[in-house]
Amino acid sequence: VADLLDADFYAFQHTLTDAEQRSLTGIRAFLDTEVRPFADDLWERAESPRHLVPRIAELGLYGNAFPETRQFENSDVYRGWVALEISRADPSLATFIGVHSGLAMTSISVGGSEEQKAEWLPKLAAGELVAAFGLTEPGHGSDTAKGLETTAERRGDTWVLNGAKRWIGNGAFADLVVIWARDVADDQVKGFLVRTPAVGFSATKIERKQSLRGVENADIVMTDLVIPESDRLQRIDGFRDLAVVLRLTRAHVAWQALGVGVGAYEGALAYAKARHQFGKPIASFQLVQQKLADALANITASIALSVRVSQMQDEGVQRDHHSAMAKAFVSARVRETVALCREICGGNGIQLGGESQLGGAIAPGYGVARYFADAEAVYTFEGTYDMNSLIVGRSITGIPAFV
Among 150, 381, 391, 392, which residue interacts with ligand FAD (rule: CB under 6 A)? 381
Residue type at position 294: D
Of 33 and 397, CB closest to ligand FAD: 397
380 touching ligand FAD, by CB under 6 A: yes
As beta bridge partners, residue 232 has: 192
The b-or-e profile of 220-230 (16+ CB within 10 A means b, else e) is bbbeebebeee
357 touching ligand FAD, by CB under 6 A: no
134 touching ligand FAD, by CB under 6 A: yes
181 touching ligand FAD, by CB under 6 A: no
24 and 60 in contact (C-beta within 8 Å)?
Answer: no
Among 217, 331, 337, 348, which residue interacts with ligand FAD (rule: CB under 6 A)? 217
357 and 346 in contact (C-beta within 8 Å)?
Answer: no
Q: Which stretch binds ligand FAD (CB under 6 A): 117-125, 151-159, 167-175, 190-198?
A: 167-175
Backbone angles phi, psi at 224, to 5 degrees: 50, 45
Among 384, 393, 394, 395, which residue interacts with ligand FAD (rule: CB under 6 A)? 384
141 touching ligand FAD, by CB under 6 A: yes
Q: Total residues at the site for ligand FAD (CB under 6 A)?
A: 21
Alpha-carbon distance of 274 to 91, in angstroms, equals 25
Alpha-carbon distance of 163 to 181, in angstroms, equals 8
Of 225 and 288, CB closest to ligand FAD: 225
SS (HEC) of 73-142: CCCHHHHHHHHHHHHHHCHHHHHHHHHHHHHHHHHHHHHCCHHHHHHHHHHHHCCCCCEEEECCECCECC
* Eight-class DSSP state of 11: -
Q: Which stretch binds ligand FAD (CB under 6 A): 63-71, 81-89, 190-198, 212-220?
A: 212-220
Of 63 and 134, CB closest to ligand FAD: 134
Residue type at position 87: S
Among 377, 379, 391, 392, which residue interacts with ligand FAD (rule: CB under 6 A)? 377
135 touching ligand FAD, by CB under 6 A: yes
Alpha-carbon distance of 149 to 152, in angstroms, equals 10
Of 133 and 271, CB closest to ligand FAD: 133
245 touching ligand FAD, by CB under 6 A: no
Of 215 and 295, CB closest to ligand FAD: 215
Binding residues for ligand FAD, rule: CB under 6 A, are: 99, 133-136, 141-142, 167-169, 212, 215, 217, 377, 380-382, 384, 386-387, 402
